[in-house]
Amino acid sequence: MTDYCAAWSVADRVARDRLLARVWAADGVYSDPTPTLAKGRVALSKVIADFQRQNPGAHFQCSTPQRHHRAMRATWILLGPDGSQVTHGVDIYDMARDGRIQRIVGFFGAPPSVTPVVPAKASAPAQGGAARLVGTWRLVSATERMKDGTARPDPNVGALGRGYIVYTATGQVCAMLGNSERARWAVLDQPSAAEASAIPENLIAYCGTYSVDEAGGFVVHHVEIDLSPNRTGTDRKRFFTITGDRLVLFAAPPLPERVQALTITWERVR
């Protein structure tokens, strides 16, 4: 990534081609909105030379790339000779098996924004995906899929967990779920220190507001009060699907160290 970004500022063709040979696949494809389409290392070198002639003294600053599997993205800023910003954008990369860049699709400017379906005002009626969430849902199961391929009930809930989650039409959410087999306290309403310390291990409880991103397929719970005071003011992001009366929430990262996925299934209460 560093060599590719630097290549756009190298005027000497031999030196530029040497950099590209290290990072660019021989049949790699570059495209951007100008429109530019360059197929192969030689064609890309020519595109860079043309860019330098049209923008003398300009150079790029590139971000550290974000990567998963063989895909990558990075943002960039184009600076003029005086250091002022000319424009900015993002590049999407496909990587070859040998680690070289196979394809780049470039975009200029900031990405388009997403308008939440649920407006900021709590009194606004739910619409779209938010309207489908509205109601009371009873817990069916909470399952962790581990990185070693095994599965287990969520330790906070257990195999016989019980609970509810409620989404209101005015944008509020409350959830309470826990292990129905947790031990009773020796004295009613007066837990011992050991009994009190076990409460967060067997119970999840919070309330707040929520917003839905239909395009992204997720809901965000904006926590206003939580059993754990450290979680108050945080967000819980959940991807979701609704099929008939079945709601499935998939917890977004970060997850516990050994957990690959957390799936919480609910059934609508009628």
Regarding whether 136 and 49 lie in a shared domain, the answer is: no
In angstroms, what CA-CA distances link 136 with 88, 126, 196, 248, 265? 45, 15, 29, 14, 13
> Total domain count for the chain?
2
The answer as to whether 120 is a domain residue is: no
Query: What is the number of other CB atoms lying within 10 angstroms of the CB of residue 159?
Result: 13
- In terms of residue numbers, what domain contains 237? 128-183+199-268
**Quick check: 170 pLDDT over 60?**
yes
**Quick check: 20 pLDDT over 50?**
yes
DSSP 166-205: EE-TTSEEEEEEEETTPPPPSSTT---HHHHHTHHHHEEE
What rounded mean pLDDT belongs to the chain? 87
Regarding whether 73 and 151 lie in a shared domain, the answer is: no
The answer as to whether 223 is a domain residue is: yes
Residue found under tokens 């005015």 = 170
Domain end, chosen from 108, 143, 168, is at 108
The answer as to whether 165 is a domain residue is: yes
Question: The CATH number of the domain where 9 resides is what?
Answer: 3.10.450.50
The answer as to whether 103 is a domain residue is: yes
The answer as to whether 94 is a domain residue is: yes
The answer as to whether 13 is a domain residue is: yes
**Quick check: 125 pLDDT over 80?**
no
Regarding whether 85 and 31 lie in a shared domain, the answer is: yes
The answer as to whether 43 is a domain residue is: yes
Regarding whether 212 and 161 lie in a shared domain, the answer is: yes
Each residue's pLDDT tens digit, 176-187? 999 988 778 888
